[in-house]
Amino acid sequence: MSQDTSSSTAYTASLHYDRRLYRQDIAGSMAHVRMLARQGIISKRDAQAIVKGLADIQEEIRGGTFPWREDLEDLHMNVEARLSEKIGEPAGRLHTARSRNDQVSVDMRLYAKEAIRDTVARLRQLQQALLDQAERHREVILPGYTHLQRAQPVLLAHHLLAYFHMFQRDVERFQECYQRTDVLPLGSGALAGVPYPIDREFLARELGFARISDNSMDAVSDRDYLVEYLADAALCMAHLSRLAEELVLWSSQEFDFLRLDDRYVTGSSIMPQKRNPDFAELARGKTGRVYGHLLALLTVLKGLPLTYNRDLQEDKEGFFDTADTLHATLEVFAGMVSTARFNQGRMRQAAEESYVLATDLADYLVGKGVAFREAHGIVARLTSYAKEQDKRLHDLTLDEYHQFSPHFDEDVYKVTLESSVAARDVPGGTAPARVEEALANARALLKEGTSKATRGSGNTPLGRRKR
């Protein structure tokens, strides 16, 4: 049976998704041709014509007038063909001392570097939103939970800062990923290097890379940095999904701890009273999508011999979709958190009408000389009794307390929500003084991160150093 040529070409084509690399591809080509002229490999006149032609092509793509040709499979061949149409014979010298293998690798590294910078900036925005809410609600008390059961009282600021630090670890992971991405592969050729006197250090400076790759075979086949980004993104989405779950729970009528802004809820097609937290729910769902892209790329890489294999074409769509998904989710969450309105009265009520002070009563007995395990048992029985009597612990009389231990005295009523959080006065605890320290540290972290981003490395968005 004969195979349709167009269908076979479509199977191997990547143009429909790799065209988004056009800025990186053109930047890499411009740097490459400048290096060729600088080294005397091609003439300066030809280099100038090529650079001018590439600049014109970039404007055509930006303006939507570029004549994309599906029969040319990918971005790189489209640009080369168009360059030939525009400047003629000199266009054929662009690919001197370069393979599509190191060309696509440098494109992806340039794109990944931009994506990482964007990811970190969006994470910082979400951290700022969490910090702003924490500072506005530094004295609000609510129940902390284990097993989704009310456990101990905490400050709302302390709770929000827990997510701040989750995302801080994400920031640090992406920053470390950036260091391993910031390696120039261009000059590696197809796999063995090139037989021309090229200057790779010049290329690194032109394109804003911190260093050049050490091994040409590894350079053209390495996709570890993409796996690392996907892994970091998967964990970041897990953190976002955890926050999403709390936003869903807390905005429910059962909790009523917060109200999401109208921009982040939707109505029901049949029930007019509904305010569905669809944005948070979608984030939970999109988390699995990002996990899938990580597993897909790991599977692509697991059986590949050195060096380049066409399987590596499958590295792009999952990466693009992951970055798009993560960035959109971070943007939504920054807005959703910053506009959320917390029901402070309901949070305190939930703490007061529960038995979150049980541990503090056990600690109270320890202060009277009772061993903790014995005190634990006493308070467990006391709490069961209070539940049976449908009473809060503070509603019990001293005589009722004495039924369980003679060590209880009038000062047991000094055990309050405020005394409970204040007692957790250890580094990392929920005591007000410790939370104030934590807020100051969080502000310093954000300020330091913003300062570093402002100083940067002197690179433009594509990595090329300003002159």
The arithmetic mean of pLDDT across residues 339-357, rounded, is 97
Q: Which pLDDT score, from 0 to 100, does residue 365 have?
A: 98
Q: Are strands 149-155 and 341-342 parallel, antiparallel or unpaired?
A: unpaired
Report the phi/psi class of residue 280: left, alpha or beta, with left for phi > 0 and alpha for psi in -120 to 50: alpha
**In the structure, what pLDDT confidence band is assigned to residue 455 with cuts at 50, 70 and 90?**
low
Q: Which pLDDT score, from 0 to 100, does residue 467 have?
A: 34
268 is catalytic: yes
What token pair was written down for 109? 């590294």
Q: Which pLDDT score, from 0 to 100, does residue 10 have?
A: 87
CA dist., res. 167 & res. 329, Å (int): 13
Q: What is the pLDDT of residues 91-127, one digit of tens each?
A: 999 999 999 999 999 999 999 999 999 999 999 999 9
**In the structure, what pLDDT confidence band is assigned to residue 4 with cuts at 50, 70 and 90?**
low
Burial of 400 (0-12, 13-18, 19+ CB in 10 A): middle
Q: Which pLDDT score, from 0 to 100, does residue 182 have?
A: 98
Q: Nearest to residue 18, comparing CAs of 128, 137, 124, 103? A: 103
Q: Nearest to residue 245, comparing CAs of 168, 173, 333, 164? A: 333
Q: What is the DSSP letter of 109?
A: H
Q: Which pLDDT score, from 0 to 100, does residue 183 have?
A: 98
User: Are 290 and 233 contacting, i.e. CB atoms less than 8 angstroms apart?
Assistant: yes
Q: Which pLDDT score, from 0 to 100, does residue 269 have?
A: 80
Beta strands in 90-210 (DSSP E): 141-146, 149-155, 183-184
CA dist., res. 267 & res. 276, Å (int): 6
Torsion over CA: 101, 95, 459, 111 (sign): negative
Pick the catalytic residue from 268, 384, 419, 457. 268
CA dist., res. 281 & res. 381, Å (int): 40
**In the structure, what pLDDT confidence band is assigned to residue 270 with cuts at 50, 70 and 90?**
confident
Q: Which pLDDT score, from 0 to 100, does residue 458 have?
A: 42
Q: Structural domain boundaries of the chain?
A: 5-93, 100-199+208-349, 358-415
Q: Please, what is the average pLDDT of the chain? A: 95
Q: Which pLDDT score, from 0 to 100, does residue 267 have?
A: 86
147 is catalytic: yes
Q: Is residue 146 classed as helix, strand or coil in its secondary structure?
A: strand
The arithmetic mean of pLDDT across residues 74-99, rounded, is 97
**In the structure, what pLDDT confidence band is assigned to residue 464 with cuts at 50, 70 and 90?**
very low
Rg of the chain's alpha carbons, rounded to an integer? 30
What's the CATH number of domain 100-199+208-349, 1.20.200.10, 3.40.50.2000, 3.40.50.300, 3.40.50.1000?
1.20.200.10
**CATH class of this structure's domain 358-415:** mainly alpha
Percent of the chain predicted with pLDDT > 90: 92
Q: Which pLDDT score, from 0 to 100, does residue 462 have?
A: 58
What token pair was written down for 111? 């794109």
Q: What is the pLDDT of residues 376-429, one digit of tens each?
A: 999 999 999 999 999 999 999 999 999 999 999 999 999 999 999 999 999 999
What token pair was written down for 6? 């167009």
The arithmetic mean of pLDDT across residues 441-451, rounded, is 89
Q: Which pLDDT score, from 0 to 100, does residue 225 have?
A: 98
Q: Phi/psi at 295 (nearest 5 deg)?
A: -65, -35
Burial of 317 (0-12, 13-18, 19+ CB in 10 A): middle
Q: Which of 193-202, 263-272, 329-338, 455-464 has the lowest mean pLDDT?
A: 455-464
**Long-range contact pairs involving 246-252 (C-beta distance under 8 Å, separation at least 24):** 247/277, 247/280, 247/336, 247/340, 248/277, 248/280, 248/281, 248/284, 251/275, 251/277, 251/280
Question: What SS3 string covers 260-285?
Answer: CCHHHCECCCCCCCCCECHHHHHHHH
The model's pTM = 0.94
What's the CATH number of domain 5-93, 2.40.110.10, 1.10.275.10, 2.60.40.3880, 3.40.50.1970?
1.10.275.10
Is the pLDDT reported for residue 456 higher than 70?
Answer: no
Q: What is the pLDDT of residues 213-231, one digit of tens each?
A: 999 999 999 999 999 999 9
Helices of type H across 314-391: 316-339, 344-352, 358-367, 372-388
Q: What is the DSSP string of 411-441?
A: GGGG--HHHHHHH--STTS-SHHHHHHHHHH
Q: What is the DSSP string of 54-97?
A: HHHHHHHHHHT-----GGG-SHHHHHHHHHHHHH-GGGGGTTTT
**In the structure, what pLDDT confidence band is assigned to residue 453 with cuts at 50, 70 and 90?**
low
Pick the catalytic residue from 7, 147, 269, 451. 147
